[in-house]
Each structure stands twice: as structure tokens, then as C-alpha cells.
Chains A and B, each alone.
Chain A
């Protein structure tokens, strides 16, 4: 495989230098954040201190994997702008997430999805879910490493057995030392990088075509449409995409992807988490759909124009795409006039996509390793220092396992995309349905959860060898009946799991109501009270800016005092949960903390009082002012 482009030795060296330089810069940048990890809560959840925009912006890069550019450009070239469908059909599940799952996990202080399973059901459910979730995440880690390995080998002839371990070392290094904070800040940086590189590729393509109007007019109607044919293409059709991707896939990505869940848990409040959620679905995902797929749409238009004219576009080579999987590489290479520096930057973006997805997953797998295996089973009582060290070892072990999985991926047959979808659509349905029933139906029993997860997974797996069992369901929803079920397999798995779960719930005993407080949607109010340690105060106040910090060592840790006027502006009562942060907005809450506010009649309006331990835990610097806002 040579990716349809011929690189001279000089070009290959330049591209390689740009890419390696980029990887080194990111590793050093990520390593800087090791200083913000005092305990494992900092290491995995950054102390729940960030403003919404920081995790939201960093999710851009997390959501775009190394395979995304290659896969969606190919999809865009073959079926047109409907390649955006998987990124733009997530709104339907948002009510469940924004008002259901997000407050449940946030207020009940869940650290991992398996932990939710133990608290909501029992320990058996925890470890069944752990196996499924780990399979899901390791699958993604291995798959991303494999795709970048394939790309490196194809473009530069650099064998996977060298490129993959080398990349893993760099990745593992900053995740191991910097933890979640490093992941968020590097992903923010990489997100910007992805958009710039994607923007360059799109601009170069549109410029080659002669402008946006030319691009649109040379695009056939079938390639302009936002939604694909209802059933025609067995691998990409609206009916299958709706049930399998908009519902099952989106729920999986939002509800059970430990990496994304952890990102939401780094945010300072549920309200800010909601902002991030809306921003992600409304802005990030549609924009990402354009960034990863547009080169394919441009490629289609360009080839049509070129074929109609009967010759290459002026100033460009005649472009031929024999293997559509190479669309992104070929179109970029040709439209940037084979400039190795610019192309090197685009290849670095592929690296960025890989690193930003995998760093999140490594951190997430390590979190599960610590919270669900090491802490409860190996060493329940240990110091923070010990767990922090263990967390770093967990990151290293995760990286090594992910790297070894590349060997397994290399032995699989079929295209990259079919491997991807087949794997994911088998793994997710049973656990997604169990989470859904657990969170939204109080009567769902522990026995039902365990049995439905195991049986749901087993029956979904069987459909790989006997796909005809899905025929009836496909007929029922007027989906494609072709035996090549990809998305409808997920719907089938969800239905089977749901039916088994509901049936068993009717004949087994649910957990007592008092044992599942805060873990179902109808108990969120109680959960908020427990989270705050008192009655929540929902009255909306205003944020107070630029207060000078004064120290008073008689104040308890995590308590602050404000003037009566400031308490009134905040609409806060004594003991209300507030949030203090360094006034410099661009830090995004890196230097901040949750504290309880109390009134002090002797304080001036431009002053805030706290003890040194509180100041230190917020990482506040001498001479810098702070902003204060009420959480609730």
C-alpha cells in the first residue's frame, strides 16, 4: 500500500521531521502538567475544577480519531455530504443526558462506570460491565494505533513494528506523568491543530476547484444531500444509521465512554457540564464532521470537473483515486502542490488525532484499573501518594496492552472500517441498554442487569455467524434486509437485552429505594442535597470578579469569607457551595477550588478571606485576584 502518492526521499524526510517535531512538542507540553497532580482525584478528574469551555474544546480532538480523516473522507467521496450523519444526529438523546445521566454521575460522585454498576446493582454487575467497557476502550486504543501504523507504513514505508511502539512511548510518557490535566490541555492544543490542518486541506481543495460555488455546482445531487438513501447501501443507510448510530452509538459514546464521562467530571458544576454538552453537539460535532469529511466532498467535485473538462485542472496534476480509502492523502498531497512542509503539517494533524483520542482512553482505562481493580481488590487502604504511583503504573500497563493489540488487528481480515464497526456494534448494545434501564427505571433489578448483560452480549455475538436472525427486526423498522447488518445489529442487541432485562425484572427483587438514592433519574434532588451537604440554593446570583485574597489561618480548610454585600450579589447563604478561581479566564479553572462561603461583616467588598491550605489547594498565586461564583 503506498497511499496513491509517490514521495521522494527528500519529501519523506521533511514530512517525517515535521511530524516527529510535533510529537516531541506535545510530549513536553503535556509533561508540564504533572505539577497539578497531588492525588488521584487530580490525576484522573483534575479536581473537578475546570470551566466548561476547556473540556468542551478539548473534546474536539478526542472525538476525532486517527482513522476519522481517512474513513470519513472516503465516505464523503463515495456517498457525499451524508458522511456528516454520524456527527449530526446526537440531539435526540440529549434530554436523557443533560437532565438524566450527567447529574446522576456528577452528584453521586461516580468515579467510573463499573462503580455505578456496583452501587446501582451489585458487585457482579460491576465486573461484568468492567469486562465489556475495557473491551470497548482497548478496542479503540488498539484500533487507533493500528490505523496510524498502517498509514505510516503506507506513506513512508516505516514498519508498524517500529512506528507504533515509538508513538506509544511518547503518548504514554505525558499521560503517565500529566494525567487528565495534561490530556485536557494537550487535547485543546491538538484540537486547534486539527482544525487548522483540516482548514488548510479544505482551503487548498476549494482553491483548486475555483471557489465554493464551483465546488457545490460540480457536486452531484446524491453527494449534496445531508441524509443518505433509506436502505440502498447495506453499510451506510438512513434507517440503519438512525437506530444503530443515532441511538445506540450516540448513547454509547455519551453514556459509557469512560473517557468522555471523565471529561465531564472535570467540570466545575453540572450547569457548566450542560453548557459543554450542548456546545459539543451543536458546534463541535458538526464542525468536526466538516473537517474530517470535506476533503472527500472536494475530491468528488474535483474529479467530476476534471473528467468533464477532459484534462487536469490548470496548475495541478491529473488526479486519480483507485482506492477510495486513500482519498484524503491523495487530494491533500495534490492540492497543496506536493509541498512536503504543508503536507507534513497535515500528517502531524493525523498524529494529533491519534494522540488526542488515545491519551483520553489510556487515562480512562487507568482510572478503571485503579478505581475498580486495584483499590477495591488489591489495596483498599493506602496513601494518596501510593495510589498516584499506582495510577501512573496503570497508565503504562494500559499503553503496553493497547500496543500489543495492534498485533491482533494485523491478523484481522477485511477493511479498516468493517473491523471498526463490527467490533463496536457487537460490544456496545448490551451495556448501553443496561445503563439506560438502570438510570431511568427504578424497578430494574440487579439480577436482571447481570443476566441481560451476559445474554445480550452472547446473542449479539451469535448474529455475526447467523445474521439472518436480524431479518425480522430489519423488516419491522423498514431497514435494509441484506444480511450485511452493521448498525441494525446494535438495535437488535439493544432490543434483546432490553426484553431480557425487563422480563427478569418482573420476577426478581429490585434494590431498596434507599439503596439507590441518586442513582436513578427520579432521585437526583436527594443526590444534590447529599452532594452539597445541605439544602440546595437555586436562586441565581451574579459572579463577583477580581477579589484580593487575604489570609486568615483560623479559617477551616475549604471555607472562605466574603462581605455581606458580596454574599448578596452571589445570592448566597452561609454554607452555600461556591467556586473560586484565578481571575485570568484563559486558565479555564486550572487554578481554582470548590469552597463553602460564609459572611464576614468586617470584610471589604474587594476582599476574600481564606486559609493557606485552601489557597494552596486552589493553586492560587500570590498577588493574583480571584473570581467567585455560587454553584448552588
Chain B
């Protein structure tokens, strides 16, 4: 079972529908975290949402509790939340992408995705990862083809994955395949 924590977003249910293609999914609001679901889930998904990681301390606690014990996936805000919990700084970017389709590239040989592959994806983010960033076992595996901003993270030891873009958006080509891959990795 996959448990999605919804950070009051208007895209979360697109994520839920996409995940439902592969497994049973439960989703509750950030203010109504369900401990039974948390315990039962094999995968925890941190949804997109407004604001920045520091606005959601409960999610940070959940991440720290379950890191290494369950598969964790973060999307957009969720991606930033994982990085934030790993000590990264999340900052405003100069160029802001909302509803924007752009090309991103796989930039790591260690990635479960084929190195140098290019994907067309939908983006909705004001903030980004401040680099350099280093945390044990974490790799930034995809980057914006133009700006170089971090677009995906992988920690294949602890089974932690994150996308800064939105695999569930209609702007992302083959989003289902991206999700399938990290669910089966």
C-alpha cells in the first residue's frame, strides 16, 4: 500500500490516480495524518504543495522516522522536503516555473534511469535546491537541460526518490513510466 501525505495541494489527486495504476493508495491531509496507514504502507509519498519545507514540520518528522525503513518518494515540495531533512538549503530561484514544460536530462551513471536520457516534464516550482549539496548515499540524478537545476534525487540504498518536476502532470511525457520505475526499484 502507498500512503500519500497531501500538503493541501491542487495536484495531489493527480498523483494519487497515477500511483493507483500500480498499487492500492491511501491519501490524507497533512493535518489528519493516519498512523495506521503510516505503519501499513510500504511506500510513503510526500505530495507537492504550496510554501516551503519548513512550513511542514510533521512531514519532516515522518521522513526522519521512516527513512531507511520504507520507500519514500517526494514530488515537488516533497522533493524539497527530503533534501531539507538531509540538511540542504531550499532557496528562491530567479526564473520561476509554473505550468511550464521543459527538458530535463539524466546526469548520473548511478541512476536507475538511463544516463543522458532526456525527458519532457511539467514544472510548478518557485524554490529550488541550493548547491553544492552533499548527503551520504544521495545523488542528484536529473537536471534541467538549460539551467542545470536539480530535478531528481535518488538514494538507492535507503530507497528514497524525489522529483522536482511533476510526473503526474499532463505536461510530462511518459510520467507513468517514471513512477513505475521508482516504485519497482
Q: Do A and B come from one complex?
A: no
B-side residues, CB < 8 A to A, are none
A-side residues, CB < 8 A to B, are none
